[in-house]
Structure 1
């Protein structure tokens, strides 16, 4: 029997991830496992303390809410959260990873009360590498590989969000779409590598002209879009003119004698009569095509 108890103690102590026994009032009763400083900080000193003794109130409130939800539902629950060494008092000098650590917490009610309180077992697994990989993959799926700005997929997602927000709050919002004029001629005359440079430099110059709340997207080969929150048609036109003018400062291969780069621009302010984002996009596209028909290198609003 003694050998079985010793084995059980050794197993608990050797658990690769930290495990906490926490009461419904938020007190740490027991702590075990998670001793590898490459992944965790040693939390032994937390035993006997309250969540509110060691964490900012907002974080302690969140942890206590998860404990009470688990007890109310009386079942295993899984949550994800982020903590760093600086978030927990007493760990300032403990060896362990720097920066934010992303955790998967598995919370299980215990079938017995301890010190007169209901309790849970909370295991915390470091999933930082997995989390960072997911963010990287998400960013790759939303980003144009050449220019580094958002792609069409992200554009449609954000356009839908802006449209829902517009319908709910009725705040002015505008969409700009533009094409590089005669881009095929640029590729044919100077080569695709030069065409790529034009796309990248135009992207950089346009981004520098936008507000922090605005966002630029590459939605096709030489096609771009800009979402402008809190912007009416008049202000969108002024912004579009700035983009058109900045494009004219570009030259192929940095040669002043070479043809200048120009863009044709269409503008669409969101309207109460719009039933979907397709209505907004069709209006912007119609303005863009009108700009092309009227000689290119111009802005048309609608």
Structure 2
């Protein structure tokens, strides 16, 4: 029920109502979907959403509360924003991920299928809606589907962290992940190992058979190595023919065992289109994280072990156990 303004405020009230009506009319014409939510989180009105490729009809939300429709953590956050917008009179914004499959008040056909299971990203813009014909105070929630933008951001993030030749993580991604894993290993006192890997006689291969052969060798070697790693492991290209493998939850014995399997795997790699007679090998330096040790120090010890492996004949693994001091 609308308020009964005094004659003194009638002009201002009429202006607010006119502005509100214009806004609602505009929203009905837009492809984005909007909701009128009261201060208790109940859906009072659903407006727009004419772009069926981007939005599922929200008419089934009417009369339901946020906590009926959304996962509890998201519903809590949304209700807080609605109340903040109403109390402060200021615009509130949020980005959130939601799948139609996770909205139980939608019709079953809207909650099943590939589209319903896909992550959809929205930008919510929440502002108070004065003079709305309702017993409780309300806010307008404009939900803009930003999934294409998020997908593009994810693509460029992947590009920025991926080596274009091998498809592996690059050095930047390795360091970001490594610092996280080192912190986690120290906090929970879990093992962590690092392998530093160098392609043996890579310059000779390039000089004799050409860079195309070298590139193919790098791709085949990394693919064969990645094939025996766990999902939790991270293999990265750190230089021209240099690679590193980060091994969470892996002690020295486990790292050495994997290193030996990697040596055997690479020995089986062939280049039939470039150099069928060439036998490829790698050298590996292995180090496991010590108490209070930094990733930089761990990497230096793995490098030292790699130099030892190359100096002692290549095609082998050497371990640097180091000391307990960082």
TM-score by length of 2: 0.82
Matched, 1:102 2:118: no
Matched, 1:11 2:37: no
Measure how far apart 1:73 and its partner are. Answer: 6.3
Deviates more, 1:233-242 or 1:255-264: 255-264
Matched, 1:270 2:289: yes
CA distance in 1, matches of 2:303, 2:219: 23
Aligned to 1:228, what secondary structure does the other structure show?
strand
1:222 alignment counterpart: 241
2:278 alignment counterpart: 259
2:305 alignment counterpart: 287
CA distance in 2, matches of 1:107, 1:227: 44
Please give the residue correspondences for 1:51-66 in structure 2 after superposition, counting only pairs within 5 Å: 51-66=66-81
1:8-62 deviation digits (Å, cap 9, x = unpaired): 6532421332221212322101221222212222212322222233344454344
- Paired positions, count: 298
Matched, 1:82 2:100: no
User: Which among 147, 154, 161 is matched to residue 128 of structure 1?
Assistant: 147
CA distance in 1, matches of 2:106, 2:309: 64
Matched, 1:35 2:54: no
CA distance in 2, matches of 1:223, 1:160: 20
Question: Cα distance 1:196–1:69, how it changes in 2: closer, same or farther (>3 A)?
Answer: farther
Is the Cα–Cα contact under 8 Å of residues 28 and 51 in structure 1 kept in the other structure? yes
Is the Cα–Cα contact under 8 Å of residues 42 and 91 in structure 1 kept in the other structure? no
Aligned to 1:210, what secondary structure does the other structure show?
coil
Question: Cα distance 1:138–1:9, how it changes in 2: closer, same or farther (>3 A)?
Answer: closer
Is the Cα–Cα contact under 8 Å of residues 209 and 275 in structure 2 kept in the other structure? no
User: Which among 196, 207, 216 is matched to residue 177 of structure 1?
Assistant: 196
Question: Cα distance 1:218–1:36, how it changes in 2: closer, same or farther (>3 A)?
Answer: same
1:147-175 deviation digits (Å, cap 9, x = unpaired): 11111110111111111112222211000
Measure how far apart 1:253 and its partner are. Answer: 2.4
User: Which among 289, 296, 301 is matched to residue 314 of structure 2?
Assistant: 296
Gapped regions of structure 1 (runs ≥ 5): none
1:25 alignment counterpart: 40
Gapped regions of structure 2 (runs ≥ 5): 1-13, 321-326
Question: Cα distance 1:295–1:68, how it changes in 2: closer, same or farther (>3 A)?
Answer: farther
2:4 alignment counterpart: none
Report the structure number with the largest CA radius of gyration.
2
Measure how far apart 1:200 and its partner are. Answer: 0.9
CA distance in 2, matches of 1:7, 1:208: 60
TM-score by length of 1: 0.88
